[in-house]
């Protein structure tokens, strides 16, 4: 009995913070978990930048409304869900993800939530649990599932390495070089074939 666990940003949809950095003209917001492995540190830094520029949830949601899934992502997900259960494990937030989930056909998403003041300023964030991707994969294994995992960033490595099969997808050259033992793919068709093969 398998469950496939996928990262969201960089795998199925573009990186939200990179899109917002471009839309807002604040290039330093392009930093992601590909650059900073410590997610708490990264998010607190981001919130500081937002506060400094007087930007809140609405401005980010306006950018997200313009984002489409990566080409081929919905078809990949539809095909994958034909033969395995799929959960998207993301360090993003409910307030960001909803319009993207709609465009992907409402797959199951486990993520986190933002703390937002009445004036729309983001004052903090609440993580679902520590090391949420790895913790979730281990919890699924504890109830009898074999997991297959794929992602692109430092914060995906735990769930990839803890799974029966794990794959990097459109990752950085640095991560691929540091973890040569993890198969790495660039195309949805190749990742789909690898997942299918891992279940045989």
Catalytic residue among 7, 15, 91, 156: 7
170: left (phi over 0), alpha (psi -120 to 50) or beta: left
Active site includes 7?
yes
Task: Sort 31 into a burial class: Cβ within 10 Å, 0-12 / 13-18 / 19+.
Answer: middle
Q: Residue 109 has which token pair?
A: 């998403």
* CA separation for the pair 19, 111 (Å, rounded): 19
* CA separation for the pair 64, 98 (Å, rounded): 10
DSSP state of 36: -
Q: Residue 176 has which token pair?
A: 């691929």
Active site includes 28?
no
Catalytic residue among 9, 15, 91, 156: 9
Q: Yes or no: say if 159 and 166 are a contact pair by the CB < 8 Å rule.
A: yes
- Give the residue numbers marked as catalytic: 7, 9
């Amino acid at each position: 009995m398998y469950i496939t666990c996928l990262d969201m940003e960089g795998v199925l949809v573009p990186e939200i913070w990179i899109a917002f950095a471009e839309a807002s003209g604040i290039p330093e917001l392009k930093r992601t978990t590909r650059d900073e492995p410590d997610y708490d540190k990264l998010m607190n830094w981001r919130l500081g930048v937002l506060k400094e520029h007087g930007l809140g949830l609405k401005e980010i949601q306006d950018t997200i409304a313009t984002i489409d899934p990566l080409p081929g992502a919905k078809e990949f997900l539809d095909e994958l869900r034909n033969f395995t259960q799929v959960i998207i494990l993301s360090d993003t937030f409910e307030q960001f993800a909803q319009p993207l989930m709609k465009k992907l056909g409402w797959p199951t998403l486990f993520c986190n939530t933002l703390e937002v003041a009445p004036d729309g300023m983001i004052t903090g964030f609440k993580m679902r649990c520590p090391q949420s991707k790895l913790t979730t994969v281990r919890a699924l294994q504890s109830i009898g599932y074999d997991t297959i995992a794929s992602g692109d960033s430092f914060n995906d490595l735990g769930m990839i390495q803890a799974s029966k099969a794990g794959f990097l997808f459109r990752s950085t050259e640095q991560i691929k070089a540091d973890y040569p033992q993890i198969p790495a793919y660039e195309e949805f068709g190749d990742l789909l074939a690898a997942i299918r093969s891992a279940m045989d």
